[in-house]
Structure 1
């Protein structure tokens, strides 16, 4: 990847990453800009902070690929189970590929920045047919270890291992865990299905096509090995939405993903027909199918079942947007601000809506909160970089572009950097960046965000024909296409009314 970060911006990016979540984390920020904060001091203890936890799992052997995927998958499962069954604030998912991240001292230091009470660290290993977690629970304020232990279960009994880690937090917090939903219970008669499920889960948060397709194959294999594996079916539906969101834009590939997702989530709803998360996922799939009218009854059902669930608010706003009612969508997310702060997806919807109506400061601070919830969500850095450049915070914007490139896709960093180049009138550098990204093969393999950014750069360089070529690749059925007319980055551009099929079919192979 070409270097595009301005001098000193890497350090600023790290400072911004730590400080940007300060306000959302219950910290007292010292303002240094309209969007971010550069210095923070921890406020006195609060009841809210007492229930925050940071989880850091790592592979027992950093070079062992089995340990690495197991650490990522178990870290994600434990964080989600603790968040859902104890209703506490898990500030960072326990995902790591190297043993250094499990070091208690570094994890405690990070926990103090994030304002958490407890830090749960562990090393994960697979020993023969067993999964083992050597864990420690540390009080982030004092740095003292409160408990430790060794949890070991057969590979096929992952749910017991996750429950054991949840019990660590129930004892520490003095709370009682609720029963997990059927979609979260990891029961399978096949140990091989469990392993395949974990391999898929370790890749599901990627943003590149290759890793997401590996996750797709692993989850589908888990279902083939055990047709009753509901957790695998739910994750496959989630993965279908993620692929539709970030990597696939050809009609053929999108149709296959929608079919796979609906088939998978339908099996989950047969077990639990009133599961809000599963219903919301079905609504998202109907939106990607290009049929928002089918998602409207789901929104109505969710309003009755779970009006305060972030998934309800998010889907409600997305349906309004798909119908061309951005004003209604913004009203929905603003009215439920306290609810949306618990969901990174809902926050991203609100940030985009605020940016479009010109409230860049609010948009930037909403993105800060999104990054506080998940510091690895690359698109949040892309949009914060763009908003910061609009606010004149160019060095911070370059820093965010660098982070987006490392966490997500190299193209995102280059394209975001090009937009900032244009903002400082360095069009020569911007053209150099974008030229290799505007070839037919590059456009055909690009996802939604990639295409929008390409069009935005081309539009800012006053090459409307190139911008239109990028937008032509966006599927006519993509629910986000209707919103292009209100995209500030495409202002004054005549939007194409038709679509073209990519010359290279990027089918997923899902069934």
Structure 2
């Protein structure tokens, strides 16, 4: 059986890659830790927007000993980056103190360094200084961030709540995302005009809808909250491409692809070569069953979309759906290279590799999915590899704890799809149908199950009855 070639280092575009490593001044100081994570996240996002470069890792080191430039440079070379930005963050009274170094990953030469001390309320100045360090290194002009990227607010409570949320917004589990949601809500309550917090709330709503939330009432609440938040941003900046893209994705989650398509058209006019516009159109077409048309658009726009993890994940799903697992694996290779911390890419690559005979690599992906995402993701990914070697005993051991009533009620879309597929692979179609029925009839993704290769030949219900049989506790 053919297999997808592993992704080789892309030396032609390494000039546009950056590795960021921030760490707390004291590993045991909770205030230092949350400031380091928040500033690292803000700086990574700002650099991506300012320079349109790949920030290859947003990981935050556990302590100051891990910000040694030589070890960061070694990691940067493995990741194929051009520059490495390392920093140590300390809190003192009401100030943030950042000591930083910018190093050329190729030569190991230190380009610049410095120490900045600013009040916590002047976080924008700190992030701006870090961004300016990179813009100078790339020979680019000074970047002026849009309103949703400016974190300044007259309310200290709002700012600290916002920054605390940033330490959780890249999680994939319900508990941490709910903590981020609570912190952002506190920030908005403290300052109702806080655009940055409203934008993050919309992003967070989409993330929860994508990866953790499947229950009807909660999904409706997240859609309303997200649309309300992004509407506030668009009132100030009606042509903001990132805000329009979020609005389109929220329309898709509300089951209204007919509204998402006009948003995609507007995006194409505002930012004709943006990955957001191309990806949103593909998602809307997929939602209405036009998979091949959606895939053609993404393939034709690969020079743009290959630098967006969201676009790559959509394309990999479509490649898999049209029956090309090798292409899907190559696209997932690119997604993993672009963001090594994006756990769902490892889950799906393990699933695809289970069909390509790449079992050792698939087990490795399952282990990474556990470490970066959630333990149940690793078990599900591993179950597909076990099925590919006909180890049904091990597969059943993996899947059994994931099939309880409580586990299924907490599962998101991807979780339920993979549980159903593993059950089907174990020749227990009734169990697979039991899982499918846990997906609410109102979930706009449910019709996609009819075109899902992992459930091919499974007799799906023709329509939703509204009743969901209860699994055994």
Distance of 2:223 and 2:470 partners within structure 1: 21
The TM-score with structure 1 as length reference comes to: 0.88
Distance of 2:157 and 2:470 partners within structure 1: 38
Q: Deviations over 1:372-417 (max 9, x none)?
A: 1111111000011111121101011000001001111111111111
Measured at CA, do residues 276 and 42 of structure 1 come closer, stay the same or move farther in structure 2, by a change above 3 Å? closer
Partners of 2:57 and 2:341 within 8 A in 1:
no
Distance of 1:90 and 1:211 partners within structure 2: 23
Q: Root-mean-square deviation (CA), in Å? A: 1.8
Q: Which has the higher contact order (CA 8 A, sep 6+)?
A: 1
How far residue 480 of structure 1 moved from its aligned partner, in angstroms, is 2.1
How far residue 174 of structure 1 moved from its aligned partner, in angstroms, is 2.3
Indicate yes or no: 2:447 matched with 1:447.
no
Among 252, 274, 280, which residue is 2:217 paired with?
252
Question: Number of aligned pairs?
Answer: 468
Partners of 1:56 and 1:93 within 8 A in 2:
yes
SS at match of 1:379: helix
Summarize the alignment of residues 457-472 of structure 1 with structure 2, pairs less than 5 Å apart: 457-472=422-437
Where does structure 1 differ by over 6 angstroms across 4 or more consecutive aligned residues?
501-504
Distance of 1:42 and 1:320 partners within structure 2: 31
Measured at CA, do residues 482 and 95 of structure 1 come closer, stay the same or move farther in structure 2, by a change above 3 Å? farther
Summarize the alignment of residues 10-29 of structure 1 with structure 2, pairs less than 5 Å apart: none
Distance of 1:74 and 1:53 partners within structure 2: 16
Distance of 1:112 and 1:227 partners within structure 2: 44
Among 136, 142, 146, which residue is 1:177 paired with?
142
Distance of 1:164 and 1:300 partners within structure 2: 36
Distance of 1:235 and 1:65 partners within structure 2: 23
The TM-score with structure 2 as length reference comes to: 0.95
Distance of 1:307 and 1:501 partners within structure 2: 44
Distance of 1:150 and 1:130 partners within structure 2: 13
SS at match of 1:270: helix
Aligned to 2:88: 123
Indicate yes or no: 2:132 matched with 1:167.
yes
Aligned to 1:27: none
Indicate yes or no: 2:40 matched with 1:75.
yes
How far residue 183 of structure 1 moved from its aligned partner, in angstroms, is 0.9
Summarize the alignment of residues 51-70 of structure 1 with structure 2, pairs less than 5 Å apart: 51-70=16-35
Distance of 1:200 and 1:408 partners within structure 2: 18
Measured at CA, do residues 105 and 66 of structure 1 come closer, stay the same or move farther in structure 2, by a change above 3 Å? same
Partners of 2:54 and 2:338 within 8 A in 1:
no
How far residue 302 of structure 1 moved from its aligned partner, in angstroms, is 0.9
Indicate yes or no: 2:405 matched with 1:435.
no
Indicate yes or no: 2:381 matched with 1:426.
no
Aligned to 2:4: 34
Measured at CA, do residues 457 and 216 of structure 1 come closer, stay the same or move farther in structure 2, by a change above 3 Å? same
How far residue 41 of structure 1 moved from its aligned partner, in angstroms, is 7.1
SS at match of 1:162: helix
Distance of 1:49 and 1:350 partners within structure 2: 23
Distance of 2:267 and 2:137 partners within structure 1: 33
Aligned to 1:489: 454
Partners of 1:288 and 1:477 within 8 A in 2:
no
SS at match of 1:152: strand
Summarize the alignment of residues 266-281 of structure 1 with structure 2, pairs less than 5 Å apart: 266-281=231-246
Distance of 1:361 and 1:351 partners within structure 2: 10
How far residue 157 of structure 1 moved from its aligned partner, in angstroms, is 1.2
Aligned to 1:12: none
Partners of 1:72 and 1:97 within 8 A in 2:
no
Summarize the alignment of residues 272-311 of structure 1 with structure 2, pairs less than 5 Å apart: 272-311=237-276
How far residue 500 of structure 1 moved from its aligned partner, in angstroms, is 4.5
Structure 1: tracts of 5 or more residues without a match: 1-31, 505-511
Aligned to 1:317: 282
